[in-house]
Amino acid sequence: MLEKTRAIILHHLRYDDSAVIVRVYTEHFGLISFLTRSVRGKQARFPSSFLRPMTVVHLVMSVKNHSELHSVRESSLISSPCASVPADAVACFIAEVLMRTQTDPQPDAATFDYLLSVSDALSSATSPLRDLPVSFLVRYAELLGFALQDESLPRSLQPAHQLHSLLDYYARHLDRPLVLKSLPVLHDLFN
């Protein structure tokens, strides 16, 4: 059955020479993956330029019941983070946090709307990107159901220390460590 939805790109993985598996957070289906065979050339159903984390796209996809892998029929770009190393690093961090914390594939309108606003902040790059990972984690904790109390995150801490405190807070509430490959890149960029 063909369905239309907006989606936020989180991650992609090469499947073979011509196919890619893409992990997205969609407006209507939550966290899903799809396989696309054509990412290169003018006739690409899903161009490779759409594969950057936190890119927002409109998809027409074939959604298969009881399947973990769907297929894309059409795609169009809505917005993409600005092309800069800091914006890409923050986008990768946010996408990685989402993939490590989203255990329920069900859609959540509040989470999707918040992710759209984060993607807009990355697109405009007028907001201070250095503070975005911390503010993202604070608001996202609310959406996950374990909002921080005012005293949970001392304001006197440097952003790097706030980030580590927040990740420890997430680990306690998720009952598992939150190991992120993108974290050292953020430290190198913003410290």
Q: Are residues 72 and 92 in the same domain?
A: no
Q: Are residues 37 and 105 in the same domain?
A: no
Q: Are residues 68 and 114 in the same domain?
A: no
Q: Are residues 91 and 53 in the same domain?
A: no
Q: Are residues 53 and 99 in the same domain?
A: no
pTM of the predicted protein model = 0.89
CATH code for the domain of 53: 2.40.50.140
| Domain boundary pick from 79, 113, 134 | 79
DSSP letter string over 42-90?
A: TT-SS-GGGGSTT-EEEEEEEPPTT-SEEEEEEEEEEE---SSHHHHHH
Q: Are residues 184 and 138 in the same domain?
A: yes
Q: Average pLDDT of each block of 10 consecutive residues along the chain (191 residues)?
A: 92 85 93 80 74 93 83 88 87 94 86 95 78 92 87 69 89 90 86 71
- 114: part of which helix (H) or strand (E)? helix 109-124
User: DSSP alpha helices (H): ranges in 145-180?
Assistant: 159-174
Q: Would you give the distance in Å from CA 129 to the centre of its chain?
A: 15
Number of domains in the chain: 2
Residue 49, classed as helix, strand or coil, is: helix
Q: CA nearest 144: which of 181, 186, 81, 100?
A: 100
> What does the pLDDT read at residue 105?
77
Q: Are residues 123 and 99 in the same domain?
A: yes
Q: Print the domain residue range for 95.
A: 85-190
User: What does R_g of the chain's alpha carbons equal in angstroms?
Assistant: 17
Q: Are residues 122 and 185 in the same domain?
A: yes
Q: CA nearest 81: which of 117, 58, 55?
A: 55
| Domain boundary pick from 64, 79, 94 | 79
Q: Which residues contact 127 (CB under 8 A, 6 or more apart)?
A: 121
The DSSP secondary-structure symbol of 48 reads: G
